[in-house]
Amino acid sequence: MAHFNVSPRTFFAIIALIGLSACASISAVGPGPVEIGKSYRISTGEVWSKYPPQSRTNTAATMTIDGTILNTLSFVDGLKPGESIIYTSDRDKLIPKYRADMSASELVDFVLDSYSAQGLANGKMTDLRPEKFGTLDGYRFDFTGAYKSGLELSGTGKIAQQGDNLHIIIFYAPSEYYYGLRKDEVDGILASVSLL
């Protein structure tokens, strides 16, 4: 779902293709509780636009308020060992894969390395601390990076393992204006996680 390569120069070409394809079913969610996959629920304070699950990237939901280039909130529900959060049609391509025995910093590296493999530039974890994910012991992390075009990004997220499976919530937005614009809302969402 992450797309870090958007440049205006290629944009007309891309939208021409999208214009031809049928419109994706984007639905309104919130304000209020939203169930993510089969494992957990969050609660929003505002109306978000929600894209359907993408089995190819093991993404349970992707949500945005202003458009995914301007803010993206992505959810993974119970990633299994050996799975990845990157889609590639190239079966021979080497990509980061989740393992159940990863340490906290390895889990965050796994997420950020996966984003880097999709074009996130200069991805860097800037904070990592323990934080509950519902009743699970989880970790909260912040990061910075940039679209390849040079537009700088800030992000935050939360991860936790339930048994051998991994839940991920990750948010990113341009550091200029948009991250700050939605930060309180996203902090509220990250604090609202409850297991189903």
Vertex 18, ends 149 and 8: CA angle to 5°?
A: 25
Q: How far is the CB of 137 from other proteins (least distance, A)?
A: 10
Q: How far is the CB of 65 from other proteins (least distance, A)?
A: 5
As a three-state string, the secondary structure of the chain is: CCCCCCCHHHHHHHHHHHHHCCCCCCEEECCEEEEECCCEEEEECCCEEEECCEHHHCECEEEECCCCCCCEEEEEEEECCCCCCCCCCCCCCCCCCCCCCCCHHHHHHHHHHHHHHCCCEEEEEEEEEEEEECCEEEEEEEEEEECCCCCEEEEEEEEEEECCEEEEEEEEEECCCHHHHHHHHHHHHHHCCEEC
Q: How far is the CB of 39 from other proteins (least distance, A)?
A: 24
Q: How far is the CB of 9 from other proteins (least distance, A)?
A: 7
Binding residues for other proteins (CB under 8 A): 6-9, 11-12, 15, 18-20, 23-24, 26-28, 46-49, 64-67, 69-70, 92-96, 99, 101, 103-106, 113, 116-117, 121-122, 125-130, 139, 142, 145-152, 174-178, 180-181
Q: How far is the CB of 130 from other proteins (least distance, A)?
A: 5
With contact defined as beta carbons under 8 Å apart, do 57 and 85 qualify? yes
Q: How far is the CB of 5 from other proteins (least distance, A)?
A: 11
Nearer to other proteins, 56 or 93 (CB): 93
Nearer to other proteins, 24 or 32 (CB): 24
Nearer to other proteins, 27 or 194 (CB): 27
Nearer to other proteins, 38 or 89 (CB): 89
Nearer to other proteins, 18 or 195 (CB): 18
Nearer to other proteins, 41 or 146 (CB): 146
